[in-house]
Amino acid sequence: MPRRTDGAPAKAQRHRSILAALATDPTVRISALAAGFGVSAETVRRDIEELSRQGVVRRTYGGASVVHAGVQPELSSRERMAVAERARIGAAAAALVEPGAVVMLDAGSTTAHVARALAARGVQATVLTNSLSAATDLAAAPGGTIRVLLCPGEVSAGERGVYGSEAEAFLRRFNADLAVIGASGLTEEGPSDAVSRAAWVKRAMLDRAARRVLVVDSAKFGRALLERVCPLGSVTDLVTEAPPPPGLSAALARAAVAVTLATGLAK
């Protein structure tokens, strides 16, 4: 393979490597690619811009993603991505839950971190969730401080979640102080998801809560997946670990969405 004289891979090889990385991970970070290639972040950014013009990848804030709008990896694969970032987001979102609050929490890789952080806090709360993992973690909170109500419905082993009309009807029986949902992508039009049944549960939760919190890491910025969950203005809060890019930041401000940046180490 052609290589530059300084030992760094040539552009064609970098392009192949970026596509190979995306074959196993739906999002890649510029910083990680630059470190792996031994080149500057600006060089990788130009590579991604060129691949984007070719229609091969989609540019995201801080990296690139696959272009398939209707596909996402199973939960077990997503849980290995951006672990530190999602742990910080989970801790920051859990800190929004006040004692005695009723929370609706959907199934997903980022919301799983919210559940673990909330359980570790030991705050008294009631949580309605369609996530099997979150239900287990929350039910094990110290002192049994968290009451857990698990949605009925059809179980997805891959997503470790419960979906379907029974889950949605169950959620619509309750009122909540907060709904905390994740998403596969976030653009100026709002959050989106690759799986319709997941989007339907998220909408049911948003409809029943006074405060509606979206938790996504910055790799989701600029990604538009198959189905829009809701308009941007339907969420009241965004919890993420890095500032949104200018266009999205302006749209969030217009929609009066409060942005919380999760900095530092997760507790």
As a whole number of angstroms, the distance between CA 147 and CA 125 comes to: 6
Give how far Cα 210 sits from Cα of 25, 124, 207, 257, 263, Å: 35, 19, 8, 14, 26
Phi, psi of 161 (to 5 degrees): -140, 170
pLDDT score at 84:
82
> CATH code for 75-261?
3.40.50.1360
Quote the CA–CA distance of 258 and 154 in Å, as a whole number: 34
- Residue 3 has a pLDDT of 43
Residue range 11-65, CATH number? 1.10.10.10
Token pair of 41 as six digits = 């972040």
pLDDT of residue 77: 57
Whether 11-65 and 75-261 share one fold: the answer is: no
Which pLDDT belongs to residue 67? 57
pLDDT value of position 149: 98
Contact between residue 241 and residue 88 where contact means Cβ atoms under 8 Å apart? yes
CA atoms within 13 A on the CB side of 190: 20
Q: What pLDDT was estimated at residue 7?
A: 52
> Average pLDDT by consecutive 10-residue portion of the chain (267 residues)?
52 81 75 91 89 70 65 55 84 97 96 96 96 96 94 91 96 98 94 93 98 92 88 97 93 98 71
Q: Give me the residue spans of the domains in the chain.
A: 11-65, 75-261
Would you give the DSSP letter of residue 245? P
Q: Please state the pTM of the whole predicted model.
A: 0.74
Amino acid 5: pLDDT: 41
Q: Where are the alpha helices (DSSP H) in the chain?
A: 11-24, 30-37, 41-53, 75-78, 83-94, 109-121, 132-139, 165-171, 196-207, 246-254
